[in-house]
Structure formats: C-alpha cells, structure tokens
Amino acid sequence: MSNLAKEISKRRTFGIIAHPDAGKTTLTEKLLLFGGAINTAGAVKSNKIDTATKSDWMEIEKQRGISVATSVMGFEYKGMKINLLDTPGHQDFAEDTYRTLTAVDSVVMVIDCVKGVEQQTEKLMEVCRMRNTPVICFINKVDREGQDPYDLIDEIEEKLNIKVCPLTWPIGMGKTFKGVYNLYTKNLLLFQPSKKKLSGEGVEIKDLASPVLDKNVGDTLANQLREDAELIGGVYPELNVQDYLDGKVAPVFFGSAVNSFGVKEMLDTFINIAPEPRERATEERTIKPNESTFSGFVFKIHANMDPKHRNRIAFVRICSGTFQRGSSYLNVRHDKKFRFSNATAFMAQDKETIDEAFPGDIVGLYDTGNLKIGDTLSEGEKGLYKGIPSFSPEIFREVINKDAMKTKQLEKGLSQLMDEGVAQLFSFEMGARKAVGVVGNLQFEVIQHRLKNEYGASCDFAPMNLFKACWISSKDKKKLDEFVKSKFRHIARDKDGKLVFMAETKAWLQMVQDNFPDIEFHFTSEF
C-alpha cells in the first residue's frame, strides 16, 4: 500500500449534529478524552450562544474565538486519525453547520432521550440526506427519565426518514437505569455514574438466559431485557454496513455522555464502520482520494478577530493527494496560482503549523481575501468541487447605506462578509436595491457590527416583505428570458450572478410556479 493510501485508510472525518442542549459539547469532550487528546473534563468549551446574551457583542466575539479554536479537533484512537468537525448549535448559524456537513464523511447525531427528535435535528438531517451521509445515532441522557426507547427509535424513523438499527439497548431508564446491553457483542455494561472516569469493559453475557444477568440488574429488568432483545432481533435485521454507508440505516446507541457511559461502545463501532475519505465530484469528473495530485475545497472562512489585521482563516477539506505547505496551488475560480506558506492543522484544542496533510484532513490557510466559500484549490484540476450549495435564507432585509461617503467600504465589506458566508446578498435587477438574506436575526447584528468595526461603513436594515429566494432555471432559454422579463421587479442575482426569483409570499410563489410550468424553482443554489 502506498503511503498516501495508508494515510487515507486511517482517516475518519465526521461531525456531530444535535439540537442545542442535547449534549454535543459533552459528547465531543468525552470522545477527546477517549482519544487522549485532552486530560480533563471541562476542557472543551461550548460554542453555544446564549440567547440571553445574544446582543452582547463581547460575548459573541468571544464565542467566535472559541469556535475557531474548536472548529476542528483531530485526535487518534486505536491507530485511526479522527477529525471531528464542530458545528454551531445555535440555529441562527445553521448555514455554517450546513456547510460544515459538506466537509465530513459521516455524522453522529445526538438526541436527548427526554425531548426526542427536535426541530433543529430534523433540519440538519435533511442536509445529510442530500448527500446520503452515513449517520450514527447517540440517544443521550438515559440517566434521566426519558421517553420509552421504542417510541424514540420510532420517532427517529418517522421524523428523520431513516431506518434504524439499535446496537445497544438501555436497561431501565432514569432512576432505574442499570446500564446498556450491546446486542452486537453481547456485552453488558453496568452503569456507574461518574463524570470523570471513562466506563470500563463490562460483563460478557453470551446467553441472555444466564443468571449472571439477573444478578447484575435484578429479575424484573433482566426479564424485560430478554423480551426486548427478542423483539428487537425480530423487528430490526442485523446491521448491514453497506446500508449504513449508503445513508439508509442509522445504527443507534444509548448512553449518557456526561457520565461517559455508552460512549466507548459508539466510538469503537464508529472506527469499525465509519467511511474513510470518499471520492467526490467536481463539475468535470469524480476525483478519488488516492489520486496523487492535491485537491480540496474551502467550506468555512473565519475572519480574524482583530479588526486591524483583516486576514482570515480559510478551512480547506482535503479531497485528494497530499497537501504540502509552501506549495503553490491553483484557485480554480480565479484560474490563478497562490502560494500557501502558512498552513495550520487542528489537533484537539491546539493549532499547529503542519507541513503535509492528507485526504480527510482539514487545514487552515491564512488568506487576505482571495478565497471564498466553495472555492476549489488544486494542483491543476480545473473543475470546481460540487456540493457546497447556498440554502434559501429565511429572513430578508434591505441594506440602507447610512454614510454615502463610505459607499465603497460598505460594498467591499458586504462582499467580503458574504464570501465568508455570514449571509447572502441578492442584488435586484431593477434599481440598486440589495437584499441580505439570513437564517437568523442574529446575523444582522453580526454584519452591522463587523461592517462598522472592520470596514468603517454603517448601514441599516429595513424590513422587506419577502418569503423566499428561489434560484431559477429552465431547459428552455426563451421561456426563462420571458419569465425574467415578466417578473423583472422580483428578479435578483446572487453573489455568483445566478438568477434568483424573490417571492413575496408562499401563496404567490405557488401561483407563479403553477403559471410557469417551464421554470424550475430551486431552494438551494446547486441543482
């Protein structure tokens, strides 16, 4: 096996998704503890933005600092190099999360057993489904009185539209919680609440009829487990790893992250079944990770927190070949080569300079404004990587320039913030109106603050009566031209110059869709 192939086979790049408060930060921390990347609990900071402090600017800036430090956490476990990509939990930053999901090969989804499947999880799962990303489910907080485990897995199947395959099963829940039984390895893990200690090896129970089970969990729960195991065995077929890899079946684990319980079971299965870096499509062809020439794409840009230095860190997911620090790579969009002498790798909480990196790895490149989200870097490849779409935002406001002397600064600032993916800008074809679209209101504050501090520009945001921005296309160019003409007042261009129809209401959009059957309306920029 070549060195490159060896490095690829060792890598597992994944993200954890969860509704805020389900336990993503806690689970992340426990995974890092198992990987030996950190020594103490409490070392991973939550990147949660508290709604109570959301207008407090220092707080948000602090959060941005934390989120850069914990954006990518690399650690080793049983000979594997694992890259964990953090996803912001706050729904106002959902777009950032969607994009991060384009850079992972699989995800772990955390669900709170008390609350079940929550709204944010449903949305994130939709994004995973777009790329058939393999998903492992961790049902957390089983030390609390949660919902019935059968109800929980039914809810996952229904709301998240994916088949499940339970690999561990809880024995009791809340006060009566005794542990989990691994249906796969036939191992019983007894619960010992401990925030510090990592759970141990457990008791092997090859035959559930064994009295050892009763001795450990009591007759009632032992009998319940026997029934459950039989029922599950009948209803859920054994895990077919290919179905998991195709995103059709999600293995399910039960545990308690805060008690480090059930986490190792999941991690051990994860490294056995989670996919190594896979091939990816560009506009021109599919590129395999073991191709010798380097390629990768930018999925996240983080601005420097110090306004005096406007450099930024671009996060690049490596897709093929070997990244070498100091080499020049082609920025496909500009068709121009850039040299990257300053590259950073992320190991747990530290950033360190690296000389080479391999497919699956994320490198941070210092950039002064040449890179934007979705850019492809390569050693000659001309096609852009696909699959980093923009999603139609939910809230729109019109940008009102408050200082005519600073128009240039405002334009530059807006354009750079859009490159970073803070929000989306739509420029109307008629007049000079510009609409900013965001997922959550918090972004308007972020934009205003940063425009002022980093670019010296001031703007206001006026409410706009808009429901959705839909990218439009048609097989029939003439029909598309006619449509644009007839709806000119509602036509805008996105940052890449693509045509967008700005629909005012849901009902009206529906009507327009019915009246123009030759026009396709898309809710993401890639179709």
**Given the rule CB under 6 A, which residues bind ligand G4P?**
18, 20-26, 46, 48, 89, 140-141, 143-144, 256-259
Structure tokens at 90: 């706050």
C-alpha–C-alpha distance, residues 49 and 89, integer Å:
8
Do 201 and 251 touch, CB atoms closer than 8 A?
A: no
Closest CB to ligand G4P among residues 19, 490: 19
Smallest gap from Cβ 257 to ligand G4P, in A, equals: 4
Closest CB to ligand G4P among residues 250, 258: 258
Closest CB to ligand G4P among residues 10, 48: 48
Structure tokens at 153: 């897995």
In three-state secondary structure terms, 116 is: strand
Smallest gap from Cβ 442 to ligand G4P, in A, equals: 16
Tally Cβ neighbours within 10 Å of residue 508. Answer: 12
Tally Cβ neighbours within 10 Å of residue 289. Answer: 24
CA 213 to chain centre: 40
C-alpha–C-alpha distance, residues 90 and 63, integer Å:
11
Distance between terminal CA atoms of the chain? 38
Smallest gap from Cβ 402 to ligand G4P, in A, equals: 36
If you search the block for the tokens 């179905």, which residue do you land on?
243
Closest CB to ligand G4P among residues 89, 247: 89
Smallest gap from Cβ 112 to ligand G4P, in A, equals: 8
Closest CB to ligand G4P among residues 176, 304: 176
Bridge partners of 254, per DSSP, are 139
Do 319 and 385 touch, CB atoms closer than 8 A?
A: yes
Q: Which of 151, 61, 168 is nearest to 113 (CA)?
A: 151
Q: Which of 356, 205, 220, 267 is nearest to 76 (CA)?
A: 267
Closest CB to ligand G4P among residues 8, 258: 258
Closest CB to ligand G4P among residues 194, 240: 194
Closest CB to ligand G4P among residues 25, 376: 25
C-alpha–C-alpha distance, residues 439 and 203, integer Å:
48
Closest CB to ligand G4P among residues 67, 259: 259
How would you classify the pairing of strands 163-166 and 249-254? parallel
* Region for 179 from its dihedrals, namely left if φ exceeds 0, alpha if ψ lies in -120 to 50, beta otherwise: left
Residue ranges of the binding site for GTP: 86-90, 140-143
Backbone angles phi, psi at 409, to 5 degrees: -60, -40
Residue ranges of the binding site: 86-90, 140-143
C-alpha–C-alpha distance, residues 369 and 338, integer Å:
12
C-alpha–C-alpha distance, residues 89 and 60, integer Å:
14
Backbone angles phi, psi at 363, to 5 degrees: -115, 150
C-alpha–C-alpha distance, residues 161 and 476, integer Å:
34
If you search the block for the tokens 């914990």, which residue do you land on?
70
Closest CB to ligand G4P among residues 139, 319: 139
Smallest gap from Cβ 8 to ligand G4P, in A, equals: 30
Smallest gap from Cβ 28 to ligand G4P, in A, equals: 8
C-alpha–C-alpha distance, residues 242 and 134, integer Å:
10
Smallest gap from Cβ 317 to ligand G4P, in A, equals: 23
Smallest gap from Cβ 32 to ligand G4P, in A, equals: 13
Structure tokens at 377: 């870097």
Smallest gap from Cβ 41 to ligand G4P, in A, equals: 10
If you search the block for the tokens 């059968």, which residue do you land on?
150
Smallest gap from Cβ 357 to ligand G4P, in A, equals: 27
Smallest gap from Cβ 482 to ligand G4P, in A, equals: 49
Q: Which of 24, 120, 68 is nearest to 346 (CA)?
A: 68
Contacts of 217 (CB under 8 A, 6+ apart): 171, 172, 178, 179, 188, 190, 225
